[in-house]
């Protein structure tokens, strides 16, 4: 098999396995979030309230996907939408007290899950891998997420 094809297939399969593994572990730890929901709420925990567009940009997702994620975590009582007084078409996503109550435990368990996935990989290897991933991302910079 061509090396380039093998690398891309392995990246795709590994990404899928990581998402599935994290989802399973979050459920086992009684964290009521999917991996994507966890990434979104973690951004809010780290950076505070944001508009849906800011979240879409940071997550590199289209607005419809972010709306679906926000709907789901809003239904779980973890965020609320606050209408922007300057632009009624824009909503700011704000954490609820319930989200703040689970923050420490959820973040600790999330870190533990990621540490397990990366177990046995040196810091130098991780830096090198991250560097390679960023090169891949740069090579695809001319493609927008709208064409997915």
Residue 148 predicted with pLDDT over 50: no
Tens-place pLDDT, residues 20-78: 999 999 999 999 999 999 999 999 999 999 999 999 999 999 989 999 999 999 999 99
3-state secondary structure 101-142: HHHHHHHHHHHHHHHHHCCCCCHHHHHHHHHHHHHHHHHCCC
Within the chain, residue ranges assigned H as helices are: 3-28, 35-47, 52-59, 63-75, 97-117, 123-139
pTM value is: 0.85
Predicted confidence (pLDDT) per residue in 70-99, tens digit: 999 999 999 999 987 777 778 899 999 999
pLDDT for position 138: 92
Q: How far from 56 is each of 31, 47, 62, 67, 93, CA to CA, in Å?
A: 23, 14, 6, 9, 12
List the domains of the chain with CATH numbers. Answer: 3-140 (1.10.10.10)
> pLDDT band for position 145 (50/70/90)?
very low
């Amino acid at each position: 098999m061509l090396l380039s094809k093998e690398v891309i297939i392995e990246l795709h399969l590994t990404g899928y396995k990581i998402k599935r593994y994290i989802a399973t572990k979050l459920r086992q730890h009684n964290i009521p979030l999917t991996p994507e929901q966890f990434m979104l709420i973690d951004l809010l925990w780290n950076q505070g309230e944001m508009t849906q567009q800011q979240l879409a940009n940071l997550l590199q997702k289209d607005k419809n996907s972010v709306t679906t994620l926000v709907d789901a975590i809003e239904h779980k009582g973890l965020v609320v939408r606050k209408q922007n007084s300057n632009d009624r078409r824009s909503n700011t996503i704000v954490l609820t007290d319930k989200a703040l109550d689970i923050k420490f435990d959820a973040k600790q368990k999330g870190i533990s899950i990621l540490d397990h996935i990366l177990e046995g990989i040196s810091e130098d290897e991780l830096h090198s891998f991250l560097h390679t991933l960023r090169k891949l991302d740069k090579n695809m910079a001319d493609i927008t997420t709208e064409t997915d």
